[in-house]
Amino acid sequence: MQSIAVFTLLGASILWGLTWLPLKFLHEQGFNGIAITFLVYVIMFAVTLPTIWRFRKQIAGNGLALLGILLLGGGAQLAFNTSMIFGDVIRVMVLFYLVPLWGVLGGRLFLSERITPFRWLGMGFSIIGAFFVVGGMNAFYAPPSWIDGLALLSGFLFAMNNIVFRASPKIPIMLKLNVMFLGAAGLSAVVLSQMGDEVIPQVSTGTWGILLAFAIFWMLLANLGTQWAVTQMEAGKSSIILILELVTAVVSASLILGETMSGLEMLGGALILIAALLETLPQKRKMQTHQNGEISAL
């Protein structure tokens, strides 16, 4: 079972790292950036809707936690997809990978988790790395873009969503995922209504088929695969494997889009990567079970 979980998580991490490809493709074909998130998550919510009925008795007593997942998880998905569609893939992924920093701080504030020396060091590397990625001292003269802000926001929201997942072990994972899908669709609908953007574009039937396949055979499988796999292995091992998501995004964007980073940005990215690795060390011996499972990747 361990080997199956490892290969499943490797596959899911690669899917997450390549998510930018269909997102940017669908946008280029005529889908509005926000509408892509709305449509994809409506489809995933519809496919997993039976879980609402199956676990309906769990909803009433866990309204606050599910509301948190709806807003935090849904907001994270919307912010990440939007920044990925409109931004530089490598830069967005690096800034998103500040998730360990937010997770450590949130765990301390809301779950009273101890901050170990390795975690303090990782937090320092994360902050310095993010400062380098957004331009170092130049950030004081030319502030980061709104896309940088969305990338940072997506990482923060995902970390907070993970904390809600850990704090509500009695809620079935499938119910949490379904509520997160609903949150992403609902928040996207709110943004679309405020912007007045088109939801249903004039695109070919084939393009609609690609969007449908992306939702069911890519995003849904990536979500379910990641969630199942991380409950089958040690948290430290799963966290290390999930870093493949960042590596996949960086390598693929470099090869396909020709994206590059400056020396300062690469140094910042290296510090953030080291921080992510350090975050796995204090949890090396802890076994992550279905009862304390959390979404560890996008």
Answer yes or no: are the C-beta atoms of 12 and 226 closer than 8 Å.
Answer: yes
The pLDDT of residue 139 is above 50: no
**Residues 18, 119, 238, 158, CA torsion sign:** negative
- pLDDT of 197 higher than 80: no
Q: What is the DSSP string of 52-120?
A: HHHTGGGTGGGHHHHHHHHHHHHHHHHHHHHHHHHS-HHHHHHHHTTHHHHHHHHHHHHH-----HHHH
Contacts for 261-267: CB closer than 8 Å, 24+ residues apart: 261/90, 261/91, 264/132, 264/135, 264/136, 265/91, 265/94, 265/132, 265/133, 267/129, 267/132
Given a contact cutoff of 8 angstroms between Cβ atoms, the answer to whether 277 and 243 are in contact is: yes
Q: What is the pTM of this model?
A: 0.82
Q: Is the pLDDT of residue 292 over 50?
A: no
At residue 158 the predicted structure's pLDDT band, cuts being 50, 70 and 90, is confident
- pLDDT of the residue at 253: 86
Q: What is the mean pLDDT of residues 56-69?
A: 90
Asked whether residue 44 carries a pLDDT value surpassing 70, the answer given is yes
- Contact at 8 Å (CB) between 278 and 121? yes
**Alpha carbon distance 32, 201 (integer Å):** 8
Is pLDDT of 282 > 70? no
Give me the count of residues in the chain: 298
**pLDDT above 70 as % of the chain:** 79
> What mean pLDDT is predicted for residues 141-163?
82
78 contacts 184 by C-beta, under 8 angstroms: yes
124 exposed, middle or buried (CB, 10 Å; 0-12, 13-18, 19+)?
A: middle
The pLDDT confidence band at residue 281, using thresholds 50, 70 and 90, is low
Q: Is pLDDT above 90 for 271?
A: no
- Higher-confidence position of 96 and 48: 48
Cα-to-chain-centroid distance, residue 4: 23
The pLDDT tens digits for 77-133 are 999 999 999 988 888 888 887 766 666 677 677 666 677 777 677 777 777 776 676
Judge contact between 192 and 34, C-beta under 8 A: yes
pLDDT at 37 over 90: yes
Integer Cα distance of 279 and 272 in angstroms: 11
Average pLDDT, the chain: 81
User: Up-side HSE of residue 208: CA atoms within 13 Å toward CB?
Assistant: 7
Lowest mean pLDDT among 25-29, 171-175, 222-226, 231-235: 231-235
Beta bridge partners, 287, equal 234
Six-digit token pair at 178?
């379904």
